[in-house]
């Protein structure tokens, strides 16, 4: 079955450590996204990538980094510079990239919950 | 800038209709979406509507769009306990890939 796999589902980190969240999709989608979810604040866009080897900052990119070396994979690194990293992180993908004027339907993974101790 | 607002909570009795509301600010919005999130899970697309439509129905779900007032609603008929979840409204402006999400409305269904 096609879909998006995020791992790990739960992750605990000590302050000062970097952690990397994995996101893999087998939907052959061009675009991939990382969102952060906090209670009462909805989803906020961290980074997105419309094509391999290219990505753009979203609304809250500070303290995060990404790479897009393969179409299927879009890992997110939460660095020690992120001041409040405890959150639920959601990865998504969609079929098309830049300038698409149709409905851009996002498919989401099941999420990764990061807790900083 | 773009902004999408929703009320945070809604509580309904099983069997009643639920109406979840959403307002947005971007007048160039072309598509508007409703997503559902069950506890500890990702978001699932429920439905979406193109901005030149004012209503879309899909089984128990009815979406109403008032473009003049920039108001979107999702009506769930015969609400069941399995409908308890967080419902997100989202909008997409013309010629962009990004979706802007609202804060989500937590729907609680009681017997």
Residue contact A31–B50, C-beta within 8 A: no
Poorest-pLDDT segment among A18-27, B24-33, B79-88: B24-33
A11 neighbors A115 (Cβ within 8 angstroms): yes
- Which chain A residues touch B104 with a CB distance below 8 Å? 42-43
Exposure class string for A77-105: b at 16+ Cβ within 10 A, else e: ebeeebeebebbbbbbbbeebeebeeebb
A66 neighbors A75 (Cβ within 8 angstroms): yes
B105 neighbors B11 (Cβ within 8 angstroms): no
Q: How far apart are CA B29 and CA A108, in angstroms?
A: 22
**What are the residues facing A7 on neighbouring strands?**
A22
- Burial of A14 (C-beta count, 10 Å sphere; 0-12/13-18/19+): exposed
Residue contact B97–A96, C-beta within 8 A: yes
- Which chain A residues touch B101 with a CB distance below 8 Å? 35, 42-43
Residue contact A106–B43, C-beta within 8 A: yes
- Which chain B residues touch A115 with a CB distance below 8 Å? none
B43, B48, B49: best to mutate for the A interface, most A CBs within 10 A: B43
**What are the residues facing B108 on neighbouring strands?**
B11
Whole-number percent of chain B with pLDDT over 70: 96
pLDDT band at B1 (very low <50, low <70, confident <90, very high): low
Task: Give the number of other Cβ atoms within 10 Å of residue B58's Cβ.
Answer: 9
Residue contact A42–B48, C-beta within 8 A: no
| Model confidence pLDDT, tens digit, residues A59-106 | 999 999 999 999 999 999 999 988 899 999 999 999 875 555 677 889
């Amino acid at each position: 079955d096609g879909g998006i796999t995020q791992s790990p589902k739960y992750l605990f980190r000590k302050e000062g450590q970097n952690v990397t969240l994995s996101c893999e999709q087998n939907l052959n989608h061009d675009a991939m996204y990382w969102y952060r979810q906090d209670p009462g604040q909805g989803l906020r866009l961290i980074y997105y990538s419309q094509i391999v080897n290219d990505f753009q900052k979203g609304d809250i990119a500070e303290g995060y980094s990404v790479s897009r070396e393969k179409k299927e994979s879009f890992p997110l690194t939460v660095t020690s510079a992120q001041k409040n990293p405890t959150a639920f992180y959601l990865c998504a993908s969609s079929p098309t990239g830049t300038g698409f004027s149709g409905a851009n339907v996002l498919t989401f993974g099941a999420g990764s919950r990061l807790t900083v101790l | 800038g773009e902004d999408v607002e929703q009320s945070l909570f809604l509580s309904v009795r099983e069997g009643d209709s639920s109406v979840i509301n959403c307002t947005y600010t971007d007048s160039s919005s072309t598509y508007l979406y409703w997503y559902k999130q069950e506890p500890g899970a990702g978001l699932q697309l429920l439905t979406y509507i193109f901005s030149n439509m004012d209503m879309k129905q899909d089984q128990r779900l009815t979406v109403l769009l008032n473009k003049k007032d920039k108001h979107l609603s999702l009506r769930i008929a015969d609400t069941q306990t399995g409908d308890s979840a967080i419902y997100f409204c989202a909008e997409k402006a013309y010629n962009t890939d990004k979706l802007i999400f609202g804060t989500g409305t937590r729907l609680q269904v009681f017997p």
